[in-house]
Amino acid sequence: MRMLFKELMIVFIFMSVSISANADEGMWLYNDTPYQLLKDRYGFEPTSAWLEHVQKSSVRFNSGGSGSFVSENGLIISNHHVGADALQKFSDAEHNYYRDGFYARSQKEEKRCLDLELNVLMSIEDVTDRVNAAVNPDTNPEEAFVARRAAMAEIEKGSLEKTGLRSDVVTLYQGGRYHLYRFKKYTDVRLVFSPEQHIAFFGGDPDNFEYPRFDLDICLFRAYENGKPAKVEHYLKFSSKGVSEGDLVFVSGHPGNTSRQLTMAEFEYLRDQYFPYVLQRLNSLEVMLLAYSARSDENARRARDTLFGVQNSRKARDGMFAGLMDSQLMTQKQTAEQALRTAVAQNPNAKEVLPSWERIADAQQVIARNAQHYNLLEGAHAFNSTLFGIARTVLRAVEEKAKPNGERLREFRDSNLESLELQLFSEEPIYDDFEQVKLADSLTWLVKQLGYSHPLVQKVLVDRSPRQCAAELVLGTKLKDVAVRRKLYAGTVADVEATNDLMIELARLVDPEARSVRKIIETQDEIKRQAHAKIAQARFAFEKTSSYPDATFTLRLAFGTVTGYEENGQAIPFQTTLAGLYKRAAAHHYEPPFDLPRRWIDRKNKLNLNTPFNFVSTADIIGGNSGSPVVNRQGEFVGIIFDGNLQSLVLDFAYTDFQARAVSVNSQAIIEALRKVYGAAELVDEIVGRKRS
């Protein structure tokens, strides 16, 4: 379940530059596909129509994952764990859709998601020159960052006004390129079908990131426009044949973030500071959430999606951290960096590149010194509360909206306000008790990090214990009421100041320090961006191969072979079957997390147990690819990505196809289960393209 991106955004996103590609490596840009590589390696030459079709069939879930259209009537398939955010938000004490599943037998029953936004990439335009033209290379980094941000905001605003499409300037190759991505946006998205969590996530945390697997990790939505199912030109034809060993397959999705082109200084920071911190925080959150969940079924339901996210992140990061303690991997990185530095040093034309590594190392040291405060304040690790997030957004919105578009914090740029408002005015349920527990725990985290006597701690707690403080804050805010949010958001700075809302007061109390540390980090990021751009250009020049940028949660095309691997001397077959599911459940006495939903037990006899269930391939994927369609040469949907194995966790830092594999659900299993376990004949008909009778 590593593929979910939102849980990966806990601290910083590190950006990086391209590398030359080997084997099935690569998260390729749609406007820079590796034609030659595919031709040489697989004898496959995608046409531009093929590429456009797959691109426009691909869907980004802004809650943190991927998906694809699978019918002309706007039907979208993604993972259960990508849909989890939506499932959680419209469940209540009586309806636990996340755990128990859902099926709308008619369009009328399809259930609208509260704040889900989907994006479909319609076009890409290179705006590198326009962005760079705004930045005077001799100016200081602080001003350079501000100028660059302003240029991006203006390009986005202009594009939105001109095309009506969501428009984002995307930084690629760590500043080597800036592309303007235009998206068709869907905000009326309705749930059509979800299986039970027990079959979507069969094996739970123990089986997460492992293989062989037996998970029906799917979820079906429908995009609506003007109150009617969206008619889409591009959607993937569902293959009833699935995959065979050795097949070439493509993955079209949104890998969230990779760190392959970091410098050694950045890798060491990750190993020595970032991962120890973030794992410590995740462990603390997991224990808090488990303790809260154990108190009652209803608590467990309220915390379910959050707990899943934390456990998923923890297991992923454990694996990544292990990768950074692998001396072979680090030696490779070190050797490659040294080789490039030597080459640069020996080339008189590359002189100005040479100081880049030192500049990054210096910037990284400044970041390292400020990371704790950044995480606690700007990352709100000290204030883990939905209401605090709302309070800060309201507080900053009225301040930022009063400024010119280009001078605002980036999330408040004009072109982003609609998406921001969708989140801010969400009717997502907020539970006082859960808010208090999370907030008290995170205030305690603040004390643990800085020490009780730290002025910031004293300023926040004012002689109250974290528990008392959290209770007063949650009971002293009216922000649970969406109408209150709307009113304040539409008002002025003075209006917001005039409210006595305690949560807004807290946000205001820490905002100067939060903004100030954010500015430090953003400035250092600009220094790194400029230095990385130079290193990237040197690498292009020396290595002269086609390349792809590190992942940035934008649409990418990966490819690979369907194939098993060897582990501890044992051959791991490329696919599992439905029979294997029942075998594994029985081996664990059907006890959680190896229990099966009732209907899977009752309808076992109806199933063809030889149906292929999950399979692996060498495609290059990472968190964010969850829900990505797996397509064959014909552009047909043959499966859906939902995980990578443990050995794939190092893909954050370097590609390998030795044992690392992407894990998918086979399209055949989806049809078999929908038809025979869920009796969803109409849905199957729609997916396989039969007209309804």
What residue ranges bind a second copy (CB under 8 A)?
204-206, 268, 271-272, 275-276, 279-280, 283-284, 286-287, 290-291, 294-297, 314-315, 321-322, 324-327, 444, 447-449, 451-453, 461, 463-467, 588-589, 591, 593
Q: Among all chains, which residue has been given the structure tokens 């109250």?
A: 464
Min CB(384)–a second copy separation in Å: 15
Amino acid at 126: D
User: Nearer Cβ to a second copy, position 9 or 461?
Assistant: 461
The Cα–Cα gap between 635 and 88 comes to 33
- Cβ closest to a second copy, residue 138 vs residue 463: 463
Query: What minimum distance in Å lies between the beta carbon of 464 and a second copy?
Result: 8
Distance of CA 111 to the CA centre of its chain: 24
Min CB(202)–a second copy separation in Å: 13
Structure tokens at 209: 């990131």
Instruction: Give min distance, CB of 660 to a second copy, in A.
Output: 16
**CB–CB of 344/354 below 8 Å?**
yes
Closest separation in Å from C-beta 606 to a second copy: 30
CB of 205 to a second copy, least distance (A): 6
Complex with a second copy: residue 325 or 402, whichever CB lies closer: 325
Compute CA 682 distance to the chain's CA centroid, rounded to the nearest angstrom. Answer: 32
Residue 562: DSSP 8-state: B
Q: Which is nearer to a second copy, 282 or 674 (CB)?
A: 282
Could you tell me where the DSSP H helices lie in 451-559?
455-461, 466-475, 482-490, 493-498, 502-543
Alpha-carbon torsion 419, 5, 167, 165, what sign? negative
| In the complex, least distance from residue 625 CB atom to a second copy, rounded to whole angstroms | 24
Which amino acid makes up residue 519?
Answer: K
| Angle (nearest 5°) at CA 45 between 43 and 50 | 140
Q: Could you tell me the CA-to-CA distances from 168 to 6, 294, 358, 472 in Å, in that order? A: 18, 42, 31, 40
Q: In angstroms, what is the minimal distance from the CB of 595 to a second copy?
A: 13
Q: Residue 566 Cβ, how far from a second copy at the closest point, in Å? A: 18
Stated as kind and residue range, the H or E segment containing 158 is helix 141-163
Residue closer to a second copy (CB basis): 213 or 314: 314
| Closest approach of a second copy to the CB of residue 469, in Å | 10
Residue with tokens 């690979």: 560
Per residue, the 3-state secondary structure of 100-148, as one string, reads: HCEECCCHHHCEECCCCCEEEEEEEEECHHHHHHCCCCCCCHHHHHHHH
Based on CB atoms, which residue is closest to a second copy, 11 or 324? Answer: 324
Choice between 282 and 551, CB closer to a second copy: 282
**Closer CB to a second copy, residue 464 or residue 486?**
464
Instruction: Please say whether the beta carbons of 165 and 185 come within 8 A.
Output: yes
Separation between Cα atoms, residue 491 and residue 500, nearest integer Å:
15
Q: Which is nearer to a second copy, 247 or 652 (CB)?
A: 652
Q: In the bound complex, what is the minimum distance in angstroms from residue 300's beta carbon to a second copy?
A: 10
CA distances from 489 to 117, 380, 390, 482, 495 (A): 21, 21, 10, 10, 9
Minimal distance, residue 472 CB to a second copy, in Å: 14
Cβ contact 548:32 at 8 Å? yes
Sign of CA dihedral 202, 205, 208, 210: negative
Decide if 193 contacts 680 (C-beta within 8 A).
yes
Q: Smaller CB distance to a second copy: residue 133 or 287?
A: 287
Shortest distance (Å) from residue 451 CB to a second copy: 5
Strands (E), 245-316: 248-253
Q: What is d(CA 424, CA 390) in angstroms, rounded to the nearest whole number?
A: 7
Residue 632 token pair = 């064959």
Contact predicate 203/143, CB 8 Å: no
**Radius of gyration from C-alpha coordinates of the chain:** 25
